[in-house]
């Protein structure tokens, strides 16, 4: 018998989200890092680079779970089968959304932490307090 970490539904739900769904927050972060590197190489001030990285974290990254949520809710190839099992469809969708939002939040916290450690955190105020925003 194969042992899994966490609930038995977790591996299946991660597969349903797909590699693209899980990689999108990371790809957005890498895209903004690429933009920041290009800005730095063309002579932009570090404050501008820091604001670009922070605005990507603040503006672009939250759009990812919102767009993916539409696909998660609307795209269920076995919906008829899902409606016949004990686990309600609402529970299944909420699990997927929670995984998606949780993963995106983890990427955001790691991104913000790296910016803070590198001295590129562009907003004033205590770092942990600014995470609530």
Tokens of 50: 């820091």
pLDDT digit string, tens, across residues 90-118: 777 788 888 888 888 899 889 888 888 88
Residue 6: which region, alpha, beta or left (left: phi > 0; alpha: psi -120 to 50)?
left
pTM recorded for the entire structure: 0.74
3-state SS, residue 83: coil
Low-confidence ranges of the chain (pLDDT < 70): 1-6, 72-87, 122-133
Q: Report pLDDT for 38.
A: 94
Rounded CA separation 125/47 (Å): 16
Q: At what angle do helices 10-41 and 46-55 cross, to 10 degrees?
A: 160
Q: Report pLDDT for 75.
A: 65
Q: Report pLDDT for 65.
A: 80
Q: What do you get for the CA distance between the two ends of the chain, in Å?
A: 45
Give the burial string for 51-90 (b: 16+ CB within 10 Å, else e): bbbbebbbeebeebbeebbeebeeebeeeeeeeeeeeeee
Q: Report pLDDT for 84.
A: 64
């Amino acid at each position: 018998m194969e042992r899994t970490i966490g609930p038995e539904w977790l591996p299946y739900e991660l597969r349903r989200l797909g590699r693209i769904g899980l990689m999108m927050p990371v790809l957005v972060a890498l895209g903004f890092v690429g933009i920041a590197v290009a800005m730095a190489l063309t002579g932009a001030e570090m404050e501008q680079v820091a604001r670009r990285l922070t605005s990507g974290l603040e503006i672009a990254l939250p759009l990812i779970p919102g767009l993916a949520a539409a696909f998660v809710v609307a795209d269920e190839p076995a919906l008829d089968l899902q409606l016949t099992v004990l686990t309600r469809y609402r529970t299944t969708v909420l699990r997927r959304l929670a995984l998606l939002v949780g993963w995106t939040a983890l990427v955001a916290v790691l991104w913000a932490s790296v910016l803070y450690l590198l001295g590129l955190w562009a907003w004033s105020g205590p770092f942990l307090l600014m995470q609530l925003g």
